[in-house]
Amino acid sequence: MRGMKLLFLAAPLIALSTAFAQPRPVTFEVASIHAVEAVPGRMVIGIRGGPGTKDPTNFVMEALSLRDLTMTAFNLAPYEITVPDWMASSRFTVTAKVPAGATKDDLKVMLRNLLEERFQLKVHHEKKQMSVYDLVIGRDGPKFQTVDEPPSPDPDAAAAQARTELQKDKDGFPVLWKGASMAMANGKARLHFEGKTVDYLAQQVSFQLRQPVKNSTGLTGTYDFQMFWDAAATMTVPSGESSGGAPTPGEGPTLQEALSQQLGLRLVSKKDLVDVVIVDHCEKVPSAN
């Protein structure tokens, strides 16, 4: 009898725990989407707020292309998605109210659902062969310093500063404002990553080249990276070859040359299969707010 009583008492506890389990949020409380006219050199582009920031329930994606919105929703790098050309030029601002307690992963689910509902977005996955890069240490060794990881910068403060006119040095490369990590003006780029890993650097290089880049340096610490390059002159490296420090004509070093000359790193290219998201359908105009 004593054993039966214990079983009888345990059952309601299981039922109660199931009853109080809360489902993860899958939609924004409120969301609006507005088309944005592209104004070169005078347009503020960025993401602010949301889970993990000082304003977790207010989320804004300002003047992002529909391609970038989709990349964010599926957590993709540029090389991991294939879209119609118009999706890279059509820009929208998304303003949304996020349910309290939502996580960053929840946010991506909500954004995917929003794109599927409002733009009728449909995608599929497939394997695609492409050039991939190993980021390795150059012949003379790395040219950056180990640092302690600093406090995370306030992305909202950086976004506010970005609204002011971008300053440039005598060669036309952007001058980074306090709290900024990378900026580009007229095809000329500069970055300063403080307290970041080589994995993080490889990811950012991957975004610029629109191809996979893997950290194969063996370096695992946190470092101070400073680099500038001419994005307009940046070329991909032929498969099987490596990017060294030989200069090429142009207004500044390519990204590959900057890695070699300024950071003591180089890229080695090879072919591999990469999982890619293909956009099958997307409406050019979202349904009404």
218-230 pLDDT, tens digit each: 999 999 999 999 9
Q: What residue spans define the domains of the chain?
A: 30-119, 130-274
Q: Which residues of 156-169 are buried (b: 16+ CB within 10 A; e: fewer)?
A: bebbeeeeeeeeee
Q: Which pLDDT score is estimated for 240? A: 42
Q: Which pLDDT score is estimated for 246? A: 42
82-99 pLDDT, tens digit each: 999 999 999 999 999 999
Q: Which pLDDT score is estimated for 289? A: 80
What's the token pair of residue 50?
């949301």
25-71 pLDDT, tens digit each: 789 999 999 999 877 656 678 899 999 999 999 999 999 999 999 99
Q: Where are the strands (E) in the chain, listed by range?
A: 30-36, 46-49, 58-65, 81-82, 91-97, 122-137, 145-146, 182-185, 188-196, 213-215, 223-230, 265-281
Residue owning tokens 């954004």: 111
Give the chain's largest Cα–Cα span: 90
For 180, phi and psi rounded to 5 degrees?
-85, 150
Mean pLDDT rounded to a whole number for the chain: 81
Residue (of 247, 158, 140, 265) closest to 201 by Cα position = 265
Q: Which pLDDT score is estimated for 86? A: 96
